[in-house]
Amino acid sequence: MDSEKKIYYENATNKLLAQLDTMKMSDEERKQAKSWVALFRDSFKSEDIRFATFERKIPEFKYYADGLCKASSFAFMNAMDSKDWVMMYIDAAYWADGPHVYLKHLPSKQVFDLTADQYFNQVVPYEYGHYIHKLDKQDMLPAMRFLNAVEQKYFR
């Protein structure tokens, strides 16, 4: 990845961490959320984690956060173990660069998008998002593989 995109990526990570300071949550929950964000964003850089998530190398991904929206959103929501977070979905029928999955923090009503920066310098049309009530098995498997790969890399 070129240096401009690396700087953009680090700035996006810092923006996510700063956004957590604006959300209605306890200090303990905020600390936990920041820890997961930092861990996941670092994990996005790992070829091993990407390979484990998708069970193959995907050469068309040219940016760290590419393709990890659903897996990381699901993993984050479950890691936070809170009913305060819901997954949202923008269908490709409503946005040419979709589909896209992100989170919404209910108490603060804020969009929280771990991978928005994969759409380098584009505005994501969150107004087209709707709730995902349940992931099917096919969608849940990459999310579980992502979380397992993160756990293996950082906690073992």
pLDDT, tens only, 55-98: 877 766 678 888 899 999 999 998 998 899 999 999 999 999 88
Report d(CA 30, CA 32) in Å as an integer. Answer: 5
Dmax (CA) of the chain: 42
pLDDT at 120: 84
pTM above 0.85, yes or no: yes
Beta bridge partners, 111, equal 104
* Token pair of 61 as six digits: 């991904």
Element (H, E) at 106: none
Instruction: Give the pLDDT score at 2.
Output: 79
Task: Decide if 43 contacts 136 (C-beta within 8 A).
Answer: no
Tokens, residue 19:
């956004």
Q: What is the pLDDT along the chain (156 residues), one digit of tens a residue?
A: 678 888 999 999 999 999 999 999 999 999 999 999 999 999 999 989 988 998 877 766 678 888 899 999 999 998 998 899 999 999 999 999 889 999 999 999 999 999 999 998 889 999 999 999 777 888 888 888 998 999 888 887
What's the pLDDT score for residue 35?
Answer: 96
| Average pLDDT value for the chain | 91
Instruction: Check: CB of residue 153 under 8 Å from CB of residue 48.
Output: yes
- How many structural domains are present in the chain? 1
Q: Which domain holds residue 109?
A: 3-155
